Amino acid sequence: MKRVNGWIAVVGVSIFGGLTAMGADQPGEISQEWKRAMAQVGCHFEQNTGQLPQAADFTYRRSDYRLDLERKGMLLALPGNGKILGGDMGIEFVEAKAGKKLPGIGQLPFKVMQRPVVNGVRRGLTAVSTFSEVSADQIFEGVDIRYKLNKDCVQFDFHVGAGADPDQIRMAFLGEESISIGNEGQITIQYPVAQIIQQPPYAFQEIEGERRYG
């Protein structure tokens, strides 16, 4: 099996706001309790139980942005002016296969408190499960995606099965103002209020337990 790895970091966010979590009653608010809790529990993927847009299966939250994971890709949401700006900024996997909701892998021993929306009404606090990884199986024919966290970045690996065509893997950047390629192969995607850096991909195979790069 060949694995193609990539990871993204969101930098240069110019609008600071908050996300509805742990005591924040309105979008655009952020509680001190939530800030302290995020620092204590570290990085994780949060399962969608109604607190996120319907298409999202998981999200990765930071204090100044949110990255929603859907089967077709990743969408960036930024809080500002009391609203969450999102749905048109991010990465889409071109011609990704339809399938089941993304499963979480490696459930963590803690939950976060969120307020789900049911029939347009925000409900009371609910404990939401957290995971260390998220999988998207058969996103292309013979190709799976595994999301994981690498320090402060979301990393995604394409697991290419034997006989599968890696040329199926295509990505589109949504809502960008400009795209540039750096000297080391990194891609910088500029949005109106944020910047995403896509680090250069690399590939390797595991043969008899040894990782071989190529």
Q: What is the pLDDT of residues 151-209, one digit of tens each?
A: 777 888 888 888 899 899 998 888 888 999 989 888 888 887 777 888 888 888 878 77
State both tokens at 50: 């109604």
pLDDT for the residue 24 = 37
- Is residue 26 over pLDDT 90? no
Q: Per DSSP, which regions of 14-142 are E strands? A: 45-47, 58-61, 66-70, 73-80, 83-85, 90-93, 104-114, 117-118, 121-122, 126-140
> d(Cα 148, Cα 56) in Å, to the nearest integer?
16
> d(Cα 203, Cα 3) in Å, to the nearest integer?
6
- Is residue 20 over pLDDT 50? no
Confidence of residue 38 (pLDDT cuts 50, 70, 90): low
Confidence of residue 104 (pLDDT cuts 50, 70, 90): very high
Across 47-58, average pLDDT = 90
pLDDT for the residue 76 = 84
45, 68, 69, 82 from 138: Cα distances, Å: 20, 19, 15, 38
Q: What is the pLDDT of residues 82-103, one digit of tens each?
A: 444 455 788 889 999 988 899 9
β-strands 73-80, 90-93: how paired?
Answer: antiparallel
Pick from 161, 160, 154: nearest CA to 133: 154
Confidence of residue 9 (pLDDT cuts 50, 70, 90): very low
Contact in structure between 205 and 2 (CB atoms under 8 Å): yes
Q: For residue 83, give every residue at least 6 positions away whose Cβ sits within 8 Å of its Cβ, in sequence order, or none.
A: 27, 28
Confidence of residue 48 (pLDDT cuts 50, 70, 90): very high
Contact in structure between 92 and 175 (CB atoms under 8 Å): no
Strand, helix or coil at 36? helix
The model's pTM is: 0.75
